[in-house]
Amino acid sequence: MYVCVIGTGYVGLTTGAVFADLGNDVVCVDKAAAKIERLRQGIMPIYEPGLEEMVKRNVEEGRLTFSTDTAAGVKRSDVVFIAVGTPPAKDGSTDLSQVESAATEIAHALDKYKIVVNKSTVPVGTGDFVRRVIEKNKKSAVEFDVVSNPEFLREGSAIADSFHPDRIVIGAPRQNVAMALLELYAPLERPMLITDVFSAELIKYASNAFLATKISFINSIADICERVGADVSLVAKGMGADARIGKEFLQAGLGYGGSCFPKDTLSLIHTAKALGEKIDILEAVVATNDVRTNRFVARILEACEGGVGGKRVGVLGLAFKPNTDDMRDAKSVEVIKALHAEGAKIIAYDPISTENAKPMLPPDVEYASSSYEVARDADVVIIMTEWNEFKLLNLEKIQAMMSNPVLFDGRNIYALDRMDRLGFDYYSIGRRTIRGRGRVATTAQAGTDGRAVT
């Protein structure tokens, strides 16, 4: 099948590469000429494990091309995917200007029947909006259909999610239109749900809002755990063992970030208000998420006697989650800015996202080339992103390099008994605080349980 994907961002590029890998002839188009030229050279605009290799393979085998010519891409294709950005507006609504622009370009190039697919995350009713834009701007009486086909990709595992999705949702105006999309996805042999366009659009927002709710819920439970001395990881494990609840998205931490959950929850709230409805529960979800970093910073300031002014604070992790270079709504930005405002000297390290982070952070932030460089002479080290390499650090070495072995873990990546044994002051989320007794004890100083004695 001939496919055109408009937009070469995270969703568009992944979608185009995957469809090409399934044997289709795909052209990805974008107005940004520099980006297209870099893609032709094999330079990816985003970091996603496995994506670069997939793009390279399909370009070499002639199934995937890149272009700035939207009209040519539309004319050669049977199916046209709109995968452009839909950023949030100041009032929480979704900015559909890029979707409108893409629909207008499709209309101008429409020369025969096409299926136009909204792949971008868009509010309910956008299918009708796209149809109106195309009807208004098309040059001749050519038929077309508009379909909603929301994506459910997780950054950092998008390739695996694309080939093994939990479900494929196709919102189409008629059964025969849905069948054309089913043919495109058939090689995946995954569950497919055919709905009307409105329902498909709402499924995406409802899914993300529900996952955001789980995150805010477990973070609220974590706050209670800290008060009573319970362990939120055990509470979450007990909850997740219930098949009605499930274990996913019950990891306590600094709240949700990234490109989807923040804007999608706000957009759904805005949509509900526009329809004369209220979703009080989502208002609470957003409010809970908004205070997570403030609470974390307050704990750091409280633990650092005399505040952090003049202290060297190491930050491990900048991206909003591991295996991506995405800095959108990254909690590291909020924490670093808050501590910097208190006079802290910040040194940070991230395996991938440092260059993307620099424009968003104070100009005097230092950037290290390794985790151990971050720890050198640090008064405090903070874990902000749960990269695997941080889980595998030599913590004895980290402790020996620090001026003061105080570690704040915003992602709960270390076991409490281990941190207790090593002698760190260790603060995590929803778990008891470990009060270290200085550096690692010598054999002569250690008690029978391996802990330092005084």
85-87-88 Cα angle (round to 5): 160
List the beta strands (DSSP E) in 19-153.
25-29, 64-67, 79-82, 114-118, 144-148
Of 278, 106, 118, 99, give the one whose Cα is nearest residue 201. 118
Residue showing tokens 């995406």 = 204
Side chain identity at 372, as an amino acid letter?
Y
Backbone angles phi, psi at 116, to 5 degrees: -105, 125
Whole-number Å distance between alpha carbons of 110 and 386: 47
Whole-number Å distance between alpha carbons of 401 and 395: 10
CB atoms within 10 A of CB 381: 25
Distances (CA, A) of 278 to 212, 214, 225, 321, 386: 17, 19, 30, 31, 35
Return the SS3 of 348: strand
Catalytic (active site) residue 304: no
Whole-number Å distance between alpha carbons of 117 and 99: 11
With a CB cutoff of 8 Å and minimum separation 6, the contacts of 86 are 94, 95, 96, 98, 99, 120, 121, 122, 263
H or E segment at 170? strand 168-171
Whole-number Å distance between alpha carbons of 424 and 441: 11
Of 215, 201, 385, give the one whose Cα is nearest residue 286. 215
Return the SS3 of 340: helix
Neighbouring C-alpha atoms within 13 Å toward the C-beta of 342:
22
Whole-number Å distance between alpha carbons of 197 and 36: 31
Question: Residue 333 CA to chain centroid, in angstroms?
Answer: 15
Whole-number Å distance between alpha carbons of 347 and 403: 14
List the beta strands (DSSP E) in 225-354.
312-316, 345-349
Catalytic residues: 260
